[in-house]
Amino acid sequence: MTPALHRALLPAGLHDLLPPVAGHEAVVIERLMAIFAAWGYQRVKPPLIEFEDNLLAGGGKALSPETFRVLDPASQRMMGVRADITPQVARIAHSRLRFSARPLRLAYAGQVLRVKGTQLRPERQFAQVGAELIGVDRAEADAELVLLIAEGLDALRVPGVSIDLCMPTLVPTLCRLHAVEPLPLDHLRHAVDRKDSAAVKQLGGPLAGVLEQLMAAAGPADRAIHHLTELDLPPEAARQRDHLFSVVRLIRAATNRLELTIDPVERRGFEYQTGVSFTVFARGVRGELGRGGRYRTDTTADTSVDSEPATGFTLYSDSLLRAVRPPEQPPRVYVPHGQMPDAAAALRRQGWVTVCALAPVDDVAEAARRLDCTHCLNDGEPRPLRTGTPT
Per-residue confidence (pLDDT) for residue 387, from 0 to 100: 53
Model pLDDT, residue 268: 79
Q: What whole-number distance in Å separates Cα of residue 182 and Cα of residue 135?
A: 33
Across 240-264, average pLDDT:
96
User: Does residue 352 surpass a pLDDT of 90?
Assistant: yes
Q: Rounded to whole angstroms, how far apart are CA atoms 25 and 28?
A: 5
Average pLDDT over residues 156-164: 95
Q: What is the pLDDT of residue 185?
A: 80
In whole angstroms, give the CA distance from residue 160 to residue 354: 37
pLDDT digits (tens, 9 = 90+) for 229-249: 999 999 999 999 999 999 999
Query: How far apart are alpha carbons 287 and 132 in whole angstroms?
Result: 22
Q: What is the pLDDT of residue 303?
A: 47
Pairing type for strands 68-71 and 42-43 reads: unpaired
Q: What is the pLDDT of residues 68-121, one digit of tens each?
A: 999 999 999 999 999 999 999 999 998 999 999 999 999 999 999 999 988 778
The model's pTM:
0.90
Other Cβ atoms closer than 10 A to 356: 13
Residue 250 backbone dihedrals phi, psi, to 5 degrees: -65, -40
Strands (E), the chain: 42-43, 49-51, 68-71, 78-81, 104-113, 125-134, 161-166, 219-220, 259-263, 277-282, 290-296, 309-316, 332-335, 353-356, 375-378, 381-384
Confidence bin at 301 (pLDDT 50/70/90): very low
Give the whole-angstrom CA distance, residue 270 versus residue 288.
Answer: 14
Residue 122 has pLDDT above 90, yes or no: no
DSSP state of 160: S
State the burial class of residue 4 (Cβ atoms within 10 Å of its Cβ: 0-12, 13-18, 19+): exposed
